[in-house]
Chains A and B, each alone.
Chain A
């Protein structure tokens, strides 16, 4: 099979082709290494690891047929928020300059255990703080759906964020799948912007051990891939209880791929009325309607539900997440790893210079907000109130799930926008996450699945949110939409 042909396969197809011996892991990996080189114009990788990829692929090819692992020879990109042993890990921040972790994150360990191949480390918003991948110290990531010639785009679109590098690489074909993390929508919103599938599993499903923390009570790793089935395959490897993460939950990991074979007949799909927001493009509403119809056609029942505290989710998030981040990011102090800027004064001078230069604007802003809302005299009014509102939001979901089994909503209130847009107003930028944040606050699984293109030819996603630890139903409902909507690929794809 040609290299271009290899890039065109889904993860499930590539896995099956490798198993049948249609091609080797080295051939597949080489095709992807070539694609990562062509994708450089998108700036989706911070670090490429072609040598390691080839070594891993060779090791896969050397395995006997009877010893094949679930992801044998599958080339993946890793969001540069996952610590990878002896490989530069940056969180897209200047402050982690030169940091090579002496350990591996649990999620990536699980992937390598199952035979996957590492192509490199993917760009992201600095410390995963952003919705457009414009805050990276390593530069913006470009959405491969940007119109015009590669590198000479007529309009340079953002891939969404924070897992923008992951989304862009998967959409382009510079990785067969990728890891993402999702604190307020960082898997689902870029998936929607780039026409790929991505799932944020239930909080506690994937270990957070070895993932650079942004907001500990919200962060959750998940896969991004071209199809729902590919996500299901990756999630099974990534998930699982980890004694090294106290918030990891000890429940069995089901065979998500097998779950896709089930039907949605009788499934109750809830439509939360509060997700109809002012000023949302008509096209998004139309796609949402289409989604309902597809699920109904497949035998599901569509019911109206209410999540009354929805409008408070985003402001609650923008207190809780920065508060946790302000504390989580205190360890970047120039003492034990990463950047040190020493102006030659006291220890405090060193801290302030290191952190002042090491963190970008958005990260600084969030640390300051987080520091403020936790400070003496403000804790109750801000942080405590936000955590109580969070309880209310979780209760809303619990009540809604009495009347339905999954929720169907748009993933984001818009399609991908141009780099430079929404930059001046942080709140306008934060509104990108209005539909995704509630699932993080309540810890629920959420999937974004491509559902169509807007008038400008840009992909739009729909989101399925499910009950805790019921990723199977979420994936199954998503697969119905995917099957009806078809798949989407940018004009600028793979090896051309």
Chain B
């Protein structure tokens, strides 16, 4: 499998990362190099092998349904680049 510049642009948009035009060209080469290299995984016979779900081999711990957190809007908002009236503020979203 090999990617072209359009695919790089599509992935970059999916990842919401602006990649300037000239950098896209370089990325095509780098990403193709990497993908070519990882292709060797196809050699491994994985028939009947379960994908790794957890190296720990444990099951999910469950917590009690108790309110132990929240009620600290100030701390939640303190690092916000833009806040107003207790809200985070972002450029207008049109639905």
Give A contacts to B, CB under 8 Å.
98-100, 102, 203-204, 217, 243, 246-247, 249-250, 309, 311-312, 315-316, 318-319, 326, 330, 333-340, 342, 344-353, 355-357, 359, 364-365, 367-369, 371-372, 375, 378, 381-382, 384-392, 394, 425-427, 441-443
Contact = CB atoms under 8 A, between A and B. Distances in A.
Given A204-B56, A391-B49, A442-B55, 6 more contacts: A243-B63, A335-B80, A352-B16, A388-B52, A389-B41, A426-B30
Nearest to A245: B61
B56 A335 contact: no
A347 B91 contact: yes
Nearest to A395: B49
Given A355-B17, A388-B51, A369 B31 contact: yes
A367 B44 contact: no
A319 B41 contact: yes
A353 B18 contact: yes
A335 B88 contact: yes
Contacts of A335: 80-81, 88, 90
Contacts of B7: 372
Contacts of B80: 335-337
Contact of B44 (A330, A392, A394): A392
Given A391-B50, A426-B30, A426-B34, A372 B91 contact: no
A379 to B, nearest CB: 11
B57 to A, nearest CB: 8
Contact of A337 (B40, B42, B56, B79): B79
Given A99-B79, A335-B80, A247 B56 contact: yes
B41 A312 contact: yes
Interface in B29-45: 30-31, 33-35, 37-38, 40-44
A368 B51 contact: no
Interface centre among B3, B31, B52 (most CB of A within 10 A): B52
Chain B interface SS verdict (over half): loop
Nearest to A386: B41
Given A312-B40, A372-B31, A387-B51, A356 B19 contact: yes
Contact of B82 (A246, A250, A340, A443): A340
Nearest to B79: A337
Interface in B1-25: 1, 3, 7-8, 11-20
Contact of A346 (B13, B17, B88, B91): B91
Interface centre among B18, B30, B61 (most CB of A within 10 A): B18
B51 A390 contact: yes
B66 interface: no
Nearest to B43: A312
B79 A338 contact: yes
B93 interface: yes
A390 B17 CA distance: 29
B75 interface: yes
B8 A246 contact: no
A394 B81 contact: no
A352 B52 contact: no
Contacts of A243: 61, 63
A359 B60 contact: no
Contact of B81 (A246, A340, A389): A340
Contacts of B17: 352, 355-356, 359, 364, 367-368
